Structures are given as C-alpha cells and as structure tokens.
Amino acid sequence: TEKLSEGDFNVSLPFIGNDELGELSGSIQKLSNDLERLKTERNEFLASIAHELGTPLTYLIGYSKVAMRPGVDEKDRKHYLAIIAEESERMKELVKNLLDLAKMDENTFTVSKEYFMARPFLEEILRLVGPSFKLKKLRLELICDDEIKIYADPLRLEQIILNLLDNALKYSVEESVVTIKILNKGEKTAISVQDFGIGIPTREIEFIFEKLYRVEKSRSRTSGGSGIGLAIVKELVEAHDGSIEVESNLGNGSTFTIFI
Ligand code: ADP
C-alpha cells in the first residue's frame, strides 16, 4: 500500500454513469481511510518500539554512570552492573523478536512441516523449562497419549510452546500447576497450556495478540514482558494454517489452546 503514488491513479476510465462514479468515489475514500489508518498504526508501533528500547537505555546510561563514579562501593557497583546486564538482555531479546516479526510480515520465513511423536517432543521442552518452573515452585504436568502424532514444523512449534509456557510461568501464582494437554481433534491436534495465575480481564483478551500490547504495563514490566510473545505465537500458528483460542478469567488463570 505504501508504494502507491499519484501516478497509479492516472488511468483512463471508459464512460461511466453516476452510480459507478459514486461507487468509485466511495472506494477511493475507503482506500484513503485505510492508508490513513495504516499510517497511524505504523506510527503508534514505532512509538511503542522507541519507548520499549528507550526505557532500558535510560537504565543503562544511568547505572553505567554511577558505576564509574570514583570511590563507589564494590558491592553497589556489582549491583549496578547486574542491572545493566539484565536490561541489555531484555533489549537483545526485544530486538530479536522484532526481527522475527518483520520476517514473518514479509513472509521470508518458512515453515517445514513433518510428522513426529508428540510425547518425546513435549518431554524435551519440559526438560528445557523445568528449572525455571522449579524456581517458582510450579508443578508442570503433561497430559498426552503415547500414540499422538503432530504435523508441524518442530522448531516453530517449540517456539510457540516456549512462548506460551514463558507466559504461564510469568503470570502464575507461586506453588500452582501448569498443565500441557495434547488431544487429537479431527484433522488437527489441540495443544493447550493452562495456568492458574492472575488471568486476563475479558475486555483485554481481544488485544493481547497485538504487537507490543500488554495488560497493565507495570505488572508485565516487573515480570520482564515486552508484549511481543503472543504476536509471534499468533503469526507462527497462522503460518501453520492453525488457530489459537484463549479462555481466561481475572484471578482464575488462563488456557491458551492452539489447533495445528
Ligand atoms: P509479554 O512479553 O508482556 O508477556 P505477550 O505478547 O506474551 O507479552 O502477552 C501480552 C500480554 O497478555 C501480557 O503482557 C499479559 O498481560 C497478558 N498475558 C499473556 N499470557 C498470559 C497469561 N498466561 N496469564 C495472564 N496474562 C497473560
């Protein structure tokens, strides 16, 4: 859409009547509204990115300056450096995710589907995330029949599930359970991740898949979120011709189910 120029509209029209003219002018008006909306969305997105990258940068500059002050206590200096390292990690993660999204938008990434057994695949993922769940005293539960096969791109599916598990971990209350359940649903496989965490207000659910959208910015910031995980999940699921559903109640936890 952005490559359109005035010249593109310089086409000679055959004789047209008033009705068609009205229709045409309506279409042009709609096109111009769409362009305007795209421009606004792009600006909002850029502003969010600038903000997301700008906040950690403020910390990096501030803490590196105080860490360099002569006579600063060694223990304090280590603390400042730890914050610098943590904020840099966040920025790196965000930039990586943004690049992923850009590739997806341009369709320059590929999905190579294959059949594989669900259970060993999921057990491997659970092994990967096990330690961070243990740290928060969360119990991870897997419900999956031995014979279930999945048809998907294993690397992309791992990325999807890791993102959902990462959220379940971030938004769970301590000492609760997170369950992954796999079921055959006709031609598709349903994979759900259920947590008993803080939940999502109903009116927010429609927005959580938008890029950089976060429910209550402050609660996500303390748990290290950048509001991009679910946008990536959605794109990856759609690239598989799959779909995603959410069930959530504030205070009662959330269940994300993908059909692939
Ligand atoms: P973030 O990096 O902030 O977690 P996501 O795109 O993964 O970004 O999620 C968007 C928002 O949706 C989050 O900020 C959070 O408020 C909400 N959310 C996502 N998953 C969950 C969950 N399992 N429980 C509660 N809230 C969630």
CA of 139 to the centre of ligand 1 (A): 20
| Protein residue with its CA nearest to atom 23 in ligand 1 | 168
CB 162 within 8 A of CB 249: no
What pLDDT shows up at residue 152?
A: 97
Could you tell me which residues are beta bridge partners of residue 258? 191, 244
CA of 214 to the centre of ligand 1 (A): 6
Is the shortest distance between the CB of 178 and ligand 1 below 6 Å? no
| Protein residue with its CA nearest to atom 4 in ligand 1 | 225
Is the shortest distance between the CB of 189 and ligand 1 below 6 Å? no
The ligand 1 atom at the shortest distance from the C-alpha of residue 215 is 16
Q: Please give the model's pTM, rounded to 2 decimal places.
A: 0.74
Is the shortest distance between the CB of 97 and ligand 1 below 6 Å? no
Is the shortest distance between the CB of 242 and ligand 1 below 6 Å? no
Nearest one of 167, 174, 212 to 193, comparing CA atoms: 167
Nearest one of 196, 215, 232 to 104, comparing CA atoms: 232
Degrees to nearest 5, angle at CA 53 with 233 and 129:
40
- CA–centroid distance for 15 within its chain: 50
Phi, psi of 190 (to 5 degrees): -100, 125
pLDDT by position in tens, the chain (length 260): 456 666 666 655 666 677 888 888 899 999 999 899 888 878 877 887 887 788 788 889 999 999 999 999 999 999 999 989 988 888 888 888 888 888 877 777 778 999 999 999 999 999 989 988 998 999 999 999 999 999 999 988 998 999 999 999 999 999 999 999 999 988 899 999 999 999 999 999 999 998 777 776 545 545 556 678 898 899 899 989 999 999 998 999 999 999 99
| Protein residue with its CA nearest to atom 7 in ligand 1 | 229
CA of 152 to the centre of ligand 1 (A): 24
For the chain, give percent helix, strand, coil, nearest 5. Answer: 55, 15, 25
